[in-house]
Amino acid sequence: MHLIETRDLCYTYPGNVTALHHVNFIAPRKARIAVIGSNGAGKSTLFKHFNGIFKPTSGSVLVQGEPITKENIRNVRKFVGIVFQNPDDQIFSPTVEQDIAFGPTNLGLDEEIVQHRVCEALRIVGIEHLANRVPHHLSGGEKKRVAIAGVVAMEPQVLVLDEPTAGLDPQGVRDFNNFCNSLSQKYGLTVIFSTHDVSLVPEIADYVYVMNKGAIVASGTIEEIFVQMEMLQSVRLDVPVLPKLIRSLQEHGVDINMGYTFGEVEAVFLEAFGKKA
Ligand SMILES: Nc1ncnc2c1ncn2[C@@H]1O[C@H](COP(=O)(O)OP(=O)(O)OP(=O)(O)O)[C@@H](O)[C@H]1O
Ligand SMILES: [Mg+2]
């Protein structure tokens, strides 16, 4: 049984804008899934179906094998946490600490447990220094991290992040990569995220869905997707810079293996230069 599955999911916004066409998407346990696609491809619309914010126009969404109903929606939202693309849609309390406490408090948890979860979330996301700040006065990247912490504090089994690194500084992106990888490795969480930064994808995902004009046009492992340069460019995307560089060297006759993550490519180059990793 998959944690999340959509079957032939179609969605049309009021005003007759069809945003999703027959989307079949699967998120298994412990998966790290990237959803990539150009502006307007349908990523955010798809994500809003994962915990019942949107209802399919046709087709279905199953969470742990069950359709989302009025009766189970509370549990579904405990199970699937979504960080929206725009943090202003998610942050509204007078202080950061209170904002992060809002979700766990709503779950009916004891104050002590809530406090513990808030501290953990602040630590994991690396924003302890913002605990007493007014969310409204934070920078865009700081707000983004507060929104992520708010969902992490709910301790969902599936964490859905819509453009999590948009607006983050380089250290913020590194922190995000580390925290994202530790969530799946240490806690066995399933992480689903969208991004326009294709170079980030091999670092934190194992599986990729490519969307274009509301449809899934390709899906597969990092190796399967990032060899399809023409397909990616046809949907306004690109191959991450490291495999692109290696492919170019290979085309110039350099005998070098393919690599996707920084670590893999570093090892490939060290080997090519006769150095030990
Ligand atoms: N509230 C709305 N009403 C009508 N159409 C909408 C609405 N929200 C989104 N759309 C349309 O649905 C389509 C998919 O939008 P969506 O926001 O899901 O794309 P996206 O892949 O998340 O894009 P981006 O990369 O810009 O975030 C687009 O054509 C968009 O114009
Ligand atoms: Mg979006």
206 and 245 in a single domain? The answer is no
Q: Which atom of ligand 1 is nearest to the CA of 47?
A: 18
Domain of 261 in residue numbering reads as 240-277
117 and 249 in a single domain? The answer is no
Ligand 1, atom 27: nearest CA belongs to which residue? 39
DSSP state letter for 35: E
Number of domains in the chain: 2
259 and 125 in a single domain? The answer is no
**Ligand 1 geometric centre to CA of 85 (Å):** 11
195 CB under 6 A from ligand 1? Answer: no
Q: Which of 212, 120, 197, 214 is nearest to 161 (CA)?
A: 197
126 and 261 in a single domain? The answer is no
**Ligand 2 geometric centre to CA of 267 (Å):** 35
252 and 205 in a single domain? The answer is no
Structure confidence at residue 4 (pLDDT): 98
Model confidence over 128-158: pLDDT tens digits? 999 999 999 999 999 999 999 999 999 999 9
User: What's the full length of the chain, in residues?
Assistant: 277
166 and 250 in a single domain? The answer is no
Structure confidence at residue 121 (pLDDT): 94
Tokens at 21, concatenated: 């066409």
57 and 43 in a single domain? The answer is yes
Among 6, 17, 38, 198, which is best to mutate for testing ligand 1, by the most ligand atoms less than 8 A from CB?
Answer: 17
245 and 139 in a single domain? The answer is no
227 and 250 in a single domain? The answer is no
114 and 51 in a single domain? The answer is yes
16 and 148 in a single domain? The answer is yes
**Ligand 1 geometric centre to CA of 53 (Å):** 15
Question: In CATH, what number is assigned to the domain containing residue 37?
Answer: 3.40.50.300
pTM listed for this prediction: 0.95
Structure confidence at residue 15 (pLDDT): 93
Among 10, 11, 13, which is best to mutate for testing ligand 1, by the most ligand atoms less than 8 A from CB?
Answer: 13
Residues of the chain with pLDDT under 50: none
